[in-house]
Every structure is written in structure tokens, then in C-alpha cells.
Structure 1
Amino acid sequence: MYRILIVEDDDKIAHILKDTLTRYEYEVFRAVRFHDIKGEAAELEPDLILLDINLPRYDGFYWCRQIRTFSNVPIIFLSARTGEMDQVMAIENGGDDYLTKPFNLDVVLAKVKGALRRAYGEYAQAQPSRDEWELNGLKLDRMKNTLEFAGKRMELTKNELLLFDCLAHRAGSIAGREELLEALWDDVHFVDDNTLTVNVTRVRRKLEEIGLPGIIETVRGQGYRLQTEWGNTGDA
């Protein structure tokens, strides 16, 4: 039974979510210590978190960053904010997905099921058995969710790992946008194409921080390609 933590200060919404998810046999908990969401999440060790943005004391972006200091648990943001910038900020701050209020409960269930499958279920098991990938000194460790190059190491979120893994398997060739979207999300109809761009930007930034700027090339109108020789750069 998967354990889900709901971080939502609206009693009515929290009750609806908890009741619905419980009926589908999830073990559901609601956060109560809004001054210490990080501590509550660390104690509970949930398999997935539904996280509101507008919260007492600190907002959901802050708590997502705090949770990411110790966990790669899937985090789905919930918010009445519909602006594209809020969705971008949610992903930039470590979130995996975004749902706007009022939400359709079928969509909530679909996104929860999809995130759990990618993280722990059939899609996670379908990943290649080898735990490490290496090319010209760049090393991806799937067990530790890390990228390492020249002694520098960066941690990846679950989506960043899936994205880079897909690019790595096609190193030197084009990975299409649709292929990358499907690698990260089950139903691409619920995903804004801009979300993929944001995730690519995050991976590029982490590669740059370990000394490999520009190795993910944009192939306009098609997708992205991971360079196989460092020093070759593509479009930003």
C-alpha cells in the first residue's frame, strides 16, 4: 500500500482528496505541522506528496526545496494559480507535476497512479538493469540519482534522472520531444509542452555546474540530442 502525504490547509479540499485516495486503497495522511512540513515528511517517509502552494508560514515552493534536501519522493503541486510562471516555478523548485484547482478527481488519480508507477512500479522496473552509464568521464548513477564528471557530482530529481537516462540511451542521436514526454509522464495530454523545456533547462544547468555546458543540443522541431564528445555545443 502506497503512503501519500497531503499538504493542504483547506479542510474541504484535504477531506475530498483523502477520502478519494483512501477509497482507492492508498494509505493517506494529512500534514498538521505547517511550521515543519520538512520534519513531518521525514518522519512519515511518504511514497508521494500532494503539495499546495499557498500555505501558512512558508509556501509550497519553499517546502518542496526543503524536502528535496533529503528525498526524491514524487511531489505533485496543487494550486488555484493557473499562470504558466507558477507551473514553471513548481518544477524549478523540485516538483514533478502540477494540478490546478478546481481539479477533476479522475485527473488527480491518473497523475498519482502515473507518478507512483514511474517511481516504484512497472515503469521503474522496466528501466535497464545496469545501474550505471558512463561516457567520456561523465557518469550517471541510477541507484544514487547522480551525475558525476571530473570529481564534481550533482543530484538529480526523479524526472531529471528519467530525462537524462532517455537522452543517454540515444547519445549522439535525436530523442524526440514526444518520446521524452512519454518517458516522464504516462498521459502527455495532461502535460504542457513547456514542462519538458523546463526539465531540460534544469538538467542543462546541472551539467554546466559539473563542467559540461552545452552538451544537450536542441534540434529544432524534433527534440534534443546528447553530444558524445564534450566541447561540441548546440543551440540553447
Structure 2
Amino acid sequence: MQKIMIIEDDPAIREELALLLGNEGYRALTVTEFVNVPEQVTDADPDLILLDLGLPGRDGFSLCADIRRNSGAPIIFVTSRDSAMDELQALSLGGDDYITKPYNMLVLLARVKAVLRRSESSADADILTAGKLSVSLTRGTASFGSKTAELTRNELRILVRLMDRPGEIVSREDLIEALWDSRIYIDDNTLSVNMTRLRSKLEALGLPDYIKTRRGLGYQL
């Protein structure tokens, strides 16, 4: 049974989500004490996290960043904040999807299933290599020589899509589709932010020009 952790401070919404997920065959784990939340996530080892932005003591952005240091579980933000900048920041910090309240329950369940499906498919293989760079899909890391960098789920998807087609030009549209399955939920700026972060990590490994920009066409290894 897949475990979904609900990090939401409104008891009514928290209980509604737990009931909804339980009826769909998931095991719902609820956070009720908002201290040491990253440690609670590590201990619970969920398959997916539903995360609110407005939480007691700290916001979901900083919490997401802390969770990402030790957990590769996909994160869906479920929040009443509907600005494009909030969504951009959430995805850039390693969130996998962003849903605004009030949400349609059937749509929420569909997005949960889609994110879990993507997460499962990305773990089907383990190690990808291209030249001297190796990527662990299960650990979410990239390694070159003696150095290793942790990747967010979105950075990992970008790199995997490029490594699947070495030497080929991969369009921005193709990468957007690989990240979020539908261009409805992502814009060009968000892809640029994730690409910049990925390139910075590769540069720190000693691969400053690993991903080349083919202006007007896309990207290429």
C-alpha cells in the first residue's frame, strides 16, 4: 500500500484529504505536530507528500528545501496561494506539482496518480551513464570522478531525458513534456530555472559545458 504524507495545518482539510486518499486505497499519514517535520518525513518514508505553504512557524518553501536534502519522495503543493511566482518557486525548489485550493477531488486524485506513476517509472532503471558522468535514478544523484551532487526530481528528469538521447538536440518543448506531462502546468521560465540549477551542479562536479544550448533549437549533450 502506497503511503501519502499530508502536511497541512487545517484539521478539516487534513481529515478530508486523509479520508479521500484512504478511500482510494492509499495509506494516509498526517502531520499534526509541526516541529521537526523533515525528521518525521524521513522516519515515515512516504511514497508522496502533499504539502501546504502556510504552516505554523515556517512556510512550505523552506520545508520543501529541507525535505529534499534527505528524501526523494515526490512533493505536490496543495495551497490557496495561486500566484505564478509562488508556483514557480515551489517547482524550482523540487516540487513535482502545484494544486490550488479549492481543488476538485477527482482532479487532485488524478494528479496524485500521475506523479506516483512518473516516480515509479523513473525508478525502473538504476544507473545511467554518458561519458564519465553517471546518474543514479534511485538515489537522485549525479557523479563525476570522486564528486557527487544531489539532484532535485525535476533536475533529474531533465538530465535523464538528455542522456537518453546523447548527441541529439532535445527541444525545450520535449523537456517540458518530460517534466510535467502537459504544457498546461508549466511555463518556459520554470524550465529555465531548473536548467540553470542543473548546470550549476554539473559545473561544480567539473563539467561546466556538459549541457550545450543550441540556440533556437534546444539542448544537447
State TM-score, norm by structure 2.
0.89
SS in structure 2 of the partner of residue 175 of structure 1 = coil
Q: Is the 8 A contact 1:4 1:48 kept in 2?
A: yes
Q: Is the 8 A contact 2:90 2:98 kept in 1?
A: yes
SS in structure 1 of the partner of residue 159 of structure 2 = helix
> Are 1:141 and 2:136 an aligned pair?
yes
Deviation at 1:199, TM superposition (A): 2.1
Matched residues in 2 for 1:13 and 1:36: separation? 21
Specify which of 115, 127, 130 is matched with residue 131 of structure 1: 127
Q: Which runs of 4+ in 1 moved over 6 A?
A: none
State TM-score, norm by structure 1.
0.84
Deviation at 1:107, TM superposition (A): 2.4
Q: Which residue of 2 aligns with 1:90?
A: 90
Following superposition of structure 1 onto structure 2, how do residues 1-236 of structure 1 map, counting pairs within 5 Å?
1-120=1-120, 123-124=121-122, 129=125, 131-135=127-131, 137-226=132-221
SS in structure 2 of the partner of residue 77 of structure 1 = strand
Task: Answer with 79-88 or 69-78: which moved more.
Answer: 79-88
CA RMSD of aligned residues (A): 2.1
Deviations 1:33-72 (A, max 9, x none): 1112112212211110000111001111121122112110
Deviations 1:110-154 (A, max 9, x none): 22111111112xx336x5x5623131x222233432212242210
Structure 1 pair 199–58 and aligned structure 2 pair: CA distance change class (3 A): same
Matched residues in 1 for 2:128 and 2:7: separation? 35
Amino acid at match of 1:3: K
Deviation at 1:73, TM superposition (A): 0.5
Q: Is the 8 A contact 2:94 2:153 kept in 1?
A: no
Amino acid at match of 1:195: T
Structure 1: which 5+ runs fail to align? 227-236
Matched residues in 2 for 1:169 and 1:85: separation? 31
Q: What percent identity do the matched residue pairs reach?
A: 44
Structure 2: which 5+ runs fail to align? none
Amino acid at match of 1:138: L
SS in structure 1 of the partner of residue 170 of structure 2 = strand
